[in-house]
A and B are shown apart, each in its own frame.
Chain A
Amino acid sequence: MEKSWKSYDSGPFYDELITPAGRPRVAARRAVNLLQGLGGEEMAARRAAAELAIREMGISFTIYSEGKNIDRSWPFDIIPRVIPGKEWDLVSEGLNQRTRALNAFINDIYNKQRILKDKVVPADIVLDSTNYKPQCAGISPRYGAWAHICGTDLVRDKDGKFYVLEDNLRVPSGVSYMVENREITKRILPELFENYSIRPVDDYPAQLYTMLASLSPREHKRPCIVVLTPGIYNSAYFEHAFLAQGMGAELVEGSDLFVDDDDCLYMRTVGGPERVDVVYRRIDDEFIDPEAFRSDSILGVPGIMRAWKKGNVAIANAPGSGVADDKVVYAFVPDMIRYYLKEEPKLASVKTWLCMDPKHRDYVLANLDKLVVKPANESGGYGIMVGPRATKATRAKFAKLIEENPRNYIAQPTLALSTAPTYLEDSVEPRHLDLRPFILSGKNVWVTPGGLTRVALVKGSLVVNSSQGGGSKDTWIVEGSQ
């Protein structure tokens, strides 16, 4: 155990806690020293305590496997990730800026389409996308906010700089684990918190409530807010319940709601129908309203789009927000920032080749062994090819996919994702990770201090998704120099 700390070497990668010289980074020094002093037995005891806490708190997620739903305990690594507050403040500003531009873009696309007319973004890539919902045209939600809850994935490259990997604007998940990870660390490693000033994350539900309440169409001291879940078999059900409880909101399923002749949304309660002001929906656009989208959906509420268009109810995220959540559109976000905000982007994006562009496509096809190829609108790490690790056959398969449907593919350089010490079996080893902060946009824009750090538990792996064997870490934004 002690030995593995001493021989810890993250190789060519930027490490979050340890410098290339093998010493703890300034902000992480106290935490690393303390953890090093714990010894193997004590570390194992703390990990067992964490596993017990996770089981007892019932923190779980569901994965689908061969037609079965399996409820799994949340995978958690007890060594926290530490980020200095000053560094984070810059990232936070960048996220704030980026989200404002994305919302301006969505609002523009469904209204005047200035950015298309000015040819800053090619019209066909937006309007031909399956993520563009013509049903939403002409609507202008309060504050021009569409993607009220945005989960932006960040990675650090080997230069130690943060890059935006993608923006999740539809129904991003993971925030409950961010809150619970802190709760677990407090329970199992309380001594780590001494001498640290760590920005709290447990007020997220309160911030979410404030943002959602600001969207209410009726002026009410306590507007009626509901969290709309597809139900218990959804992989993120735990989170839906967690957030509803944290906000004191009702957790509802489609069958609990109905739209009446007055085009207002109501929920069925034991005291009779009650009007709903704000719906935080955790189901996809396609399922939200069988009248407007998929008619076979039993998860949604018939007529809810009608109620929304009339301004009788707010929906977060607004239907159609996914139009900006597309890996082709991603490439244009820096241009959007300049176009709408007249500012330079504060956060870097990853260089992106669009396979729809013949020149880009040629480059991608010639360099498949160096690039990461992604489908334009899949999430959860599905359908991705990591070139340097792919077999010849896989590369050939992707070459074919790209040529058949170039619009649907983009490519990016293989990033050297940063690492952090991760406690595995009985040693501490470097593992790759990313970071998903959450940005709330209503009357104001607010960014979580830190976010959810996901870590690839398999040696050398870059895939951090929990559905594919990823774990997570508590993420600390710490004040001052330690």
Chain B
Amino acid sequence: MRLLSRVAERLYWMARYLERAEDTARVTQAYTHLVLDIPMGTELGWDALVRILDGQPVFEQSYRAYNEQNVLSFVITDEDNFGSIRQSIKSARENVRTTRDVLPAEVWEHVNELYLYAQETAEKSVGRRHRHQFLDQVISRCQVISGLVITTMTRDDTYRFMALGHMVERADMTTRIIDVGAGALMQQDRHNPTIDPLVWSSLLQSLSAMSAYRRKVGPIPEAAPVVDFLFKEATLPRSLSFCLNGLRAELSQLSHHKPALKELERARRRLSRLNPENVSWEELHRFIDRIQLDINALSDSVAETWFLPRQEP
């Protein structure tokens, strides 16, 4: 099966955007729950959510205050924010529109429906009343599309570049979700026995990993074991370790994979050196920044090896 470089590129980005929409919905969901749960007097700032998504510069172009209304508008529906849920879905659709000839027909239909849904409802889902339902819908509709891809597509390069896109984005977003915890706790005192478990359980829930954690680790979510679980648990599909291993498995089946694998190994080595038991929140935050750079370098290497050469102007 042949695959055009341009198509590979668009499939990769379609998968990244879909994953980004889903994971942004997950982070937003988790953060909203956290805010609701946290006792009066220890309020979390909404700015943390924008920071996690690296959105400050764009945010500050359009908004002054980091209040709930502004931040949620920015994350859910803002058309100037390339990473907003609505824009991610729109970009995913543009990429499917140009690759639908290599995808099962239903993929286009579902992505198109998701797009229409987001266009119609994103705006009015900023407030708390409809937010939960919207985020839930986005997550489950993205899951339907992923399910369709996983259960109907032949395992060839077409599938492989989508898998790469999903896992690169998911790896990146998982580190960001952990950063929510680190960020929230950095604002607090080193240890706050009432807040800690709330933070960590909401993070686990955002990755649908709460029950797995309970069975594998124990009933009470605590900082170090949760971080260790989300980073290093090789059997958890949304852990960083799982994503990096998955990337390695897909990459090694592509021809000319050497440069990309080299970047990947750098990230894997960095992860293996991490010991969550004895890092401070600041150190954890710096680690997350670095591993995000590794993931970026991997993405650049994928583009350089397999996608269309950049056109000279």
Contact = CB atoms under 8 A, between A and B. Distances in A.
A and B part of one assembly: yes
Given A58-B108, A58-B109, A256-B308, A269 B100 contact: no
B280 interface: no
Contacts of A241: 97-98, 100-101
A231 B6 CA distance: 12
A232 B98 CA distance: 7
Given A256-B4, A270-B255, 12 more contacts: A58-B108, A58-B112, A232-B98, A245-B100, A245-B102, A250-B4, A250-B7, A251-B101, A255-B6, A256-B5, A269-B3, A271-B255
Nearest to A272: B255
Contacts of A237: 97
Given A56-B109, A271-B255, A252 B4 contact: yes
Contacts of B3: 269-271
A250 B2 contact: yes
Contacts of A253: 6
Nearest to A247: B101
A268 B5 contact: yes
B287 interface: no
A174 B306 CA distance: 34
A268 B116 contact: no
A237, A249, A250 pick with most chain B CB within 10 angstroms:
A250
Contacts of B157: 270-271
A274 interface: yes
Interface size class of B (residues with CB under 8 A): 20 to 34
B94 interface: yes
Interface string A188-215: 0000000000000000000000000000
B308 A271 contact: no
B220 interface: no
A104 interface: no
What are the 5 A-B residue pairs with the smallest beta carbon separation, nearest first? A245-B101, A244-B101, A268-B5, A270-B306, A251-B101
Contacts of B102: 245
A55 interface: yes
A268 B2 CA distance: 10
A55 B109 CA distance: 9
B59 interface: no
Contacts of A245: 100-102, 105
Contact of B112 (A56, A256, A270): A56
A57 interface: yes
Interface in A226-274: 231-232, 237, 241, 244-245, 249-253, 255-256, 267-272, 274
Contacts of A57: 109
B254 interface: yes
Interface of B: 2-8, 94, 97-98, 100-102, 105, 108-109, 112-113, 116, 157, 161, 254-255, 306, 308, 311
A253 B9 CA distance: 14
B6 A56 contact: no
B4 A268 contact: yes
A251 B6 CA distance: 10
Contacts of B7: 250-251
A241 B7 CA distance: 12
A301 to B, nearest CB: 14
A205 to B, nearest CB: 11
A contact face: mostly helix, strand, loop, or mixed: mixed
A231 B157 CA distance: 23
Contacts of A267: 2, 4
A241 B112 CA distance: 15
Interface in A262-292: 267-272, 274
B5 A270 contact: yes
Nearest to A246: B101
Contact of B5 (A55, A56, A232, A269): A269
Nearest to A250: B4
Contact of B308 (A58, A224, A232, A255): A255
Nearest to A252: B4
B6 A271 contact: no
Contacts of B105: 245
B4 to A, nearest CB: 5
A55 B112 CA distance: 9
30 contacts: A56-B113, A57-B109, A58-B97, A58-B108, A58-B112, A224-B2, A237-B97, A241-B100, A241-B101, A245-B100, A250-B2, A250-B4, A251-B98, A252-B4, A255-B6, A256-B5, A267-B2, A268-B4, A268-B5, A268-B6, A269-B2, A269-B3, A269-B5, A270-B4, A270-B161, A270-B254, A270-B255, A271-B2, A272-B255, A274-B2
Contacts of B108: 58
B5 to A, nearest CB: 5
A421 B77 CA distance: 44
A176 to B, nearest CB: 12
Contacts of A269: 2-5
Contacts of A268: 4-6, 308
B41 to A, nearest CB: 50
A33 to B, nearest CB: 34
B12 to A, nearest CB: 10
Contacts of A58: 97, 108-109, 112
Nearest to B6: A256
A272 B109 CA distance: 31
A245 B96 CA distance: 13
Nearest to A240: B101
Nearest to B108: A58
Contacts of B113: 56
Nearest to B160: A270
A58 B108 CA distance: 8
Contacts of B97: 58, 232, 237, 241
B253 to A, nearest CB: 11
B101, B308, B311 pick with most chain A CB within 10 angstroms:
B101
A379 to B, nearest CB: 25
Contacts of B5: 256, 268-270
A267 B311 CA distance: 16
Contacts of B255: 270-272
A237 B94 CA distance: 12
Contact of B116 (A55, A252, A271, A274): A55
Interface in A133-163: none
Contacts of A270: 3-5, 8, 157, 161, 254-255, 306
A241 B311 CA distance: 24
